[in-house]
Every structure is written in C-alpha cells, then in structure tokens.
Structure 1
Amino acid sequence: MYDISTRKRALTLVAQGRSLNSVSKETGISRHAISCWLSRIEPLSRTPPCIRCTDAPELPENPAAYAYLLGLYLGDGYIISKPRQHYLMVSCTASWPGLVEAAEAAMRKVLPYPSTSRVQRAGCIEVKSFSKHWTCMFPQHGPGKKHDRPITLEPWQQAIVDAHPWEFIRGLIHSDGCRITHWTTRMVAGERKRYEYPRYFFTNKSDDIRKLFTDTLDKVGVEWTTLARGSDPFNISIARKASVALMDTHVGPKH
C-alpha cells in the first residue's frame, strides 16, 4: 500500500529518535506497518555523524545559538533518552510566541538534521527536537532533577559561554528569568509621587546553575544580589540602573 519513499520517510523519522506513536500520527501510517518495516528493511543512515561522537570531537558550528540553547536547557529543558525515543524538550509559556520561535530556531541551528515539533499544553508549548545525539551536546543530562545533582560545564562548553556570554545569559533569563517593573511612592514637596523602576530576576533551585548565571554576569559587568525566598536563596536580582540598562541592551524582556 505504501511506496518506497513513504517507507523511507517513516523509517528516517524513527532513526532520528521519534517514537512509533509520534511517527504514526505524523504520517498516518499504522504502528504495525512501521514495526514490520523496521524488521524487514535495512535501517537507513540518513543522519550525519554527531560532531561530539568522534575520536576528535568538534564544537557546534553555531556557538552563539548553542550558548543560548544551553541556557534554555539548564532552565526549562530536559532530554528523554529511551529505546526508540530520544528528544530534547524546552517548555515555553504560551503567551511568549517569540520565545517559542527562538527556542526552535536555536535547536535547528545547533543540530540542523533532526525533526522538530511543538506540543500545546495547558498554558505552555513544548518545543521538541528528536535526536539521540542531544545527550552528546548536553552532557549535563542525567537521572533526576537538575537541582538534585551536580551541574558543571565541560571545558568546551565553558569556552563557548566565555565567547558568547550574553547569549547564555539570555537563554537562562528566557527560561527561568523575567524582567518586571517595580514601583514605589515618595513624598516630594508635600505631594506623593509614583516612581517606577525595572529589574531582572532569575530563579532556579540549583546552586550550580545559579552560580553559572552569576559568574557569567560578573564577566560582563552586571551587578547582582541574592534575594532569599524564606531561607532559600533561589532568586538572583539585577536592579542597579546601569546593570539593568546592560541587560536591556543584550537580553530584553520575553515576548
């Protein structure tokens, strides 16, 4: 019932790490048919070799996009790595379509060949890129939540962050940060006046991830303070006027 090009397309999607269910939904081909093809047809080798899975690992061709995606991953991303199911997922608030576009664009720039998809959830959009090689690109992947295990950058990752600090900061802010406007009132010449001032926040339970953020802020000259939530120092605040101006120039609010 299916021509060879249709079979090859379905098998290519499976080879990229897609589950049988997702390939079946996308192509309209039954799971049984795809399973039969997997056992009868020699697997296709359409995916270029991974730049990290070689004897001489290479850096990503677009390091700026990688630095941004690394920030997104450390904040609101995770990797699923199971038999026949491999993908990177970044959860984006649905009210920020620009963030959704930026996340998908970064995935395509870092690994151009995997297929990507968007899944609408209640209040958010999950951006997924299907490839088993995302674990090579993000060796921080591991069992459990990120704040329950050590998170450190490999030397090659740190070199990229050092070369593109603002992209890394922007990715972290776009995942676990925000730009808000505070206000207060003061009496001036007997008259109460309202004053507004912007500030940036970054919130993450992982001590290691917060330190990666603040170390990078230090390198670009942004002043910051820690604000505790109860006894937990989960919040990093950037409120000084000059530092907020720097953040506005290189990061800006989500959109």
Structure 2
Amino acid sequence: MRIACADDWPGLIEACSDAMAKVMPNNKVGRVQCTGCTSVVSYSKHWPCLFPQHGPGPKHARNIALVAWQQAIVDEHPWPLLRGLIHSDGARVVNWTTRPLSTGIKRYEYPRYFFTNKSTDIRRLFTDTLDTLGVAWKQANAWNISVARRASVALMDEHIGAKY
C-alpha cells in the first residue's frame, strides 16, 4: 500500500504511518520523499483483503462500497471515518460575507467544512455518515459537500479537529 501525504501536514504523515504499523504489525512501514509529498509505504499481500474496493482505474470510475464488516466498523465508529475523509479530501475554512447596515458595511465570518471528491460513491459514504450523526450538510456543487450550520460545524469541530 502506498499513500501519498502532503508535506504540509507532518502530523498526518505520522498518523498514517502509525495506522499502517498497527494494522500490519509484522510488516515494515517506510517513507518515500517526493516533491511536495511523502508516500507512506507498506507491502503485504493482505492489503487487498482489507480494501476490497481497490482496483484498476480511478476511484470515480469504479464502484466504491463498504462490505458488511467494514460498514459494521463505521456504524460503531463513524467519526474516525469522517475525520479521515476530511483530512484527506476536505478542509475547515472560514468563509465571510458582508451585509449593509445603517452604520456601514458589516463583515461576518463563519467556519465551515468542505469535502470534495469526484467519486459519487465516496461522497455518498461521507453524506450517509453525516446523516447518521445528525450533521446538516448541503451539496455545494457537483463534487463538493458543505457543512455550514453552526451546530453541525461545532459537532464536527468536537470530533474532527484541525489538520496538523
């Protein structure tokens, strides 16, 4: 398995390496430095057993669905899935807008989460998990999901945390 991680997030590179080592404790985990990213690498013939969604071609061109045992894990631990999806293909940003008032223009800032993925199946895994947790979301455009309601952002902040 090879996971490319942006060098901007060294804590995520470490977390990825630690997770691989925990899942396959008898296999070595290495790192390969590339321009702007570090690939975390571990070889095992058993990786495809853990990720039956793996296959040839881009993710958005093939079926991505959790098998029963994977869904059972997500049902029991939904926040780690959302955290991983946000940390890989999402962001927490601060949006802003302005409103005219009698005293002048007022600028409002508010946090929100975005998740972007070309795969309809992966976006559905994300939104289905948000639904089970009661997190309000909207389809921002073809590939983007937005979480902007104050209570939902607060819930995400409590469980997701910043990239590091």
TM-score range, shorter chain: over 0.9
Gaps of 5+ in 2: none
Partner of 1:157: 70
CA distance in 2, matches of 1:178, 1:240: 15
- Is 1:175 aligned to residue 88 of structure 2? yes
Partner of 1:241: 150
Q: Which has the larger radius of gyration?
A: 1
Partner of 1:134: 47
CA distance in 1, matches of 2:111, 2:146: 11
By how many angstroms is 1:143 displaced? 1.1
Letter in 1 for 2:50: M
In the TM superposition, structure 1's runs of 4+ consecutive aligned residues that sit over 3 Å from their partners are none
Letter in 1 for 2:16: A
CA distance in 1, matches of 2:123, 2:3: 19
- Is 1:196 aligned to residue 109 of structure 2? yes
Q: Please show how residues 1-255 of structure 1 align to structure 2 within 5 Å.
A: 88-228=1-141, 233-255=142-164
Q: Is the 8 A contact 1:179 1:252 kept in 2?
A: no
By how many angstroms is 1:129 displaced? 1.5
Letter in 2 for 1:179: R
By how many angstroms is 1:198 displaced? 0.8
**Among the aligned pairs, what percent are the same residue?**
62
CA distance in 1, matches of 2:38, 2:148: 30
TM-score computed with the length of structure 2 as normaliser:
0.96
TM-score computed with the length of structure 1 as normaliser:
0.62
Letter in 2 for 1:241: R
Letter in 1 for 2:74: V
CA distance in 1, matches of 2:135, 2:4: 27
Letter in 1 for 2:120: D
Q: Is the 8 A contact 1:201 1:237 kept in 2?
A: yes
Per-residue CA distance 1:70-98 (angstroms, 9 max, x = gap):
xxxxxxxxxxxxxxxxxx11111111111
CA distance in 1, matches of 2:134, 2:26: 37
Report the RMSD for the aligned CA atoms in angstroms: 1.1
SS state of the match for residue 66, structure 2?
A: coil
Per-residue CA distance 1:131-161 (angstroms, 9 max, x = gap):
1111111111111111101111110000001
Letter in 1 for 2:68: P
